[in-house]
Amino acid sequence: MKSEWKIWFLRGLRDGVPIGLGYFAVAFALGIKASGAGLTAWQSALMSVLNVTSAGEAAAIGLLGVGTTYVELAFTQLVINIRYLLMSCSLSQKIAPETSVLHRLLIGYGVTDEIFGISMGVQGKLSPAYSYGAIAVAVPGWTLGTLLGAVLGNILPVRAVSALGVALYAMFLAIILPPARKSKVIAGLIVVSMLASAGLAFLVKRLALTGFGEGFRIIALTVVISLVAAILFPVKEEGKEALRDGE
């Protein structure tokens, strides 16, 4: 059992290294913004280790910079980060039913867009050790990047800081391209998702729909596209297919 956990942990650690490096680059820029909003380096690092969300933290920093109430800050975080509830529900289907509540809570802490992506790409059931391995490198990368950004960011050229953010987009491509090559359905859904996201963002901006922020857009697109994909391209359950073949 211990050797199996070690294998899963090392596998998650390996897959999490590119995520950790990408997080470090993005969080560095975030740390600079946090410092500009009046947060100390340690406050910035604490915010990152507790939240682990780029969009949520960026919004929080903006609100803190202009002054806001705790209620408004909490509601903003709920709206922006509520998509992780959908990801957690989906990810819960990948882990064994006997997985304890403690393991589920610890896995839930580390659910991010990228960790969710590599976790769903694992064939078969997912061991909690895999998630721990990915979290063990991704979260420190995010936290350390924020810390160093708050401490050292102001001495770097603006162009250098902007260039660091490109790493995250490259990491997204590394996550979605392998499954897209294996399945035309997945490749098509990725293209549709990108076009729908860009189109919806344009409409929101054009119509000045201030109440329809990024969090709501992601949730709406996720639910609609996932529902349509499930209806048009249902995934056959291996267990049921095996029973049918045996008959």
**What confidence tier does 97 reach under pLDDT thresholds 50, 70, 90?**
confident
Specify whether the CB–CB gap between 114 and 138 falls below 8 A. Answer: yes
**What confidence tier does 10 reach under pLDDT thresholds 50, 70, 90?**
very high
Q: What pLDDT does 164 receive? A: 63
Backbone torsion region of residue 67, taken as left when φ is above 0, otherwise alpha when ψ lies between -120 and 50, otherwise beta: left
Q: What pLDDT does 214 receive? A: 62
Per-residue pLDDT reduced to its tens digit, 110-159: 999 889 989 988 888 889 999 999 999 999 999 999 999 888 866 766 66
Map out the domains of the chain as residue ranges.
Answer: 2-168, 183-247
Q: State yes or no: pLDDT of 32 exceeds 70.
A: yes
Average pLDDT over residues 99-111: 92
How many contiguous H segments (helices) and E segments (strands) does the chain have? 13, 0
Question: Token pair of 86, please?
Answer: 């959908």
Residue 235 DSSP one-character state:
P
Specify whether the CB–CB gap between 149 and 37 falls below 8 A. Answer: no
Question: Token pair of 142, please?
Answer: 């995010």
Give the Cα separation of 16 and 137 in Å (integer).
6
Q: What pLDDT does 244 receive? A: 43
Q: State yes or no: pLDDT of 241 exceeds 60.
A: no
At 155, which amino acid appears? I
- Dump strand ranges (E) for the chain: none
Torsion of CA 65, 71, 72, 74, to 10 degrees: 90
Per-residue pLDDT reduced to its tens digit, 14-27: 999 989 988 888 88
**What confidence tier does 81 reach under pLDDT thresholds 50, 70, 90?**
confident
CB within 8 Å of 71: residues ≥ 6 apart? none
Per-residue pLDDT reduced to its tens digit, 195-222: 998 898 888 888 877 666 665 676 678 7
Per-residue pLDDT reduced to its tens digit, 175-202: 677 778 888 888 898 899 889 988 988 8
